[in-house]
Amino acid sequence: MVLKAPGVLLVFLLACFALARRETRHEKFRRQHVDFPKTSIPDARRYCNLLMQQRNLTVGICKPSNTFIHAEPAQVDSVCTSGGTHHDENYYNSNVAFALTACRVVGGSQRPPCNYRPKLSTQRIRVACVNGMPVHYKGQA
Ligand SMILES: *[C@@H]1O[C@H](CO)[C@@H](O)[C@H](O)[C@H]1NC(C)=O
């Protein structure tokens, strides 16, 4: 059975590997930092509490702070190329300001449920780039 359909087996195995493989650093950056279009939750505090949870940033421990960028993923990526200016090492500053929601954990909550305080702003950002793609959100430029 298996020997008669090696192609099918191969495709199946490849599909399993694809599902099981770890996310790349760039995928992790997007999971942690890009929310576009911005998830519609009118209350900013609820937005932080929900998004931090949805993006798996409160698994076991509350990530102390995290910023969400509300711009097209491709536009955020471009900070590493045409949309950014080299700062130092592998850091680039965006040439334009982005709409941001910074979420910071409220005093003490280290274990879920995590409670976050939001701060909305529009600012230029600084990211670390590897192979022309953002992999780390450094902060505002
Ligand atoms: C969060 O983790 C769960 C369980 O591992 C997974 O199914 C889900 O896809 C993850 N969510 C994100 C946004 O990566």
Q: Which domains occur in the chain, in start order?
A: 24-140 (3.10.130.10)
User: What pTM did the predictor assign?
Assistant: 0.86
Please state the atom number of ligand 1 nearest to the C-alpha of residue 56.
Answer: 1
Q: Is the CB of 31 under 6 A from ligand 1?
A: yes
**pLDDT of 23-44, one tens digit each?**
999 999 999 999 999 999 989 9
53 or 20, which is more confident: 53
Task: Please say whether the beta carbons of 100 and 124 come within 8 A.
Answer: no
Please state the atom number of ligand 1 nearest to the C-alpha of residue 55.
Answer: 13
Q: Is the CB of 55 under 6 A from ligand 1?
A: yes
Residue 122 dihedral angles phi and psi, to the nearest 5°: -125, 115
Active site residue 26: no
- What are the strands, taking DSSP E only, across the chain? 65-69, 84-86, 91-94, 98-105, 116-123, 125-130, 133-140
What average pLDDT does the segment 115-136 reach?
A: 98
Angle at 9 between CA 6 and CA 13, to 5 degrees: 135
Residue 128: closest CA among 84, 95, 74, 98: 84
Active site residue 86: no
Ligand 1 centroid, distance to 87 Cα (angstroms): 33
**pLDDT of 92-124, one tens digit each?**
999 999 999 999 999 877 899 999 999 999 999
